[in-house]
Amino acid sequence: AESERHRLPAVERRRMERELHDVSAHHLTAVVVTAGAALGLRDRRPELAAEALEFAVETGREVTRALGAVRAPAPSREDAPSPEERLLDLVAGFRRLDQRVDCEIDPLPDGTLADAAYGIVREALTNVARHAPGADTRVRVRYGDARTDVRVTSAAP
């Protein structure tokens, strides 16, 4: 029992490190996609290029804050956004990249299930932005007693 008590913090730390890696990779991809879009828009739509660059800068700041959070104390449960708010914020970020995303999210319980749903949606939206930029995309997260269904679909580019 004593060894298990010491093992659990290490397991949680590794899970958090993996999550931070995934989040950082996602944000870096968003910065690269956004900067590429800004380059393509700079002559035709300079106002959109400026908006895209502002998003890239803010995304970089978010990564910096996330890396700083590794050393900072965790926010209280009351301060933390709900799983639905986290997913809606993620979708809003992709919409700012000019991705057309329709979203329906059922309330999710906090914890591993919400983290998994977030990771799946983040990865899928990153793939759409990378491989089918601007494609109509649907995000559906349905939570039930027996199963959870996470679907992200997009039209062909």
69 and 97 co-located in one domain: no
Tens of each residue's pLDDT in the chain, 157 residues: 555 555 556 666 677 777 777 777 777 777 778 888 888 888 888 888 888 888 888 877 777 776 666 655 555 556 678 888 889 988 988 888 888 999 999 887 878 888 888 989 999 998 888 888 889 999 999 988 888 899 999 987 6
Cβ–Cβ under 8 Å, residues 31 and 56? yes
Which domain does 40 fall in, by range? 1-74
Q: Which of 74, 98, 117 is the last residue of a domain?
A: 74
36: amino acid identity, one letter: G
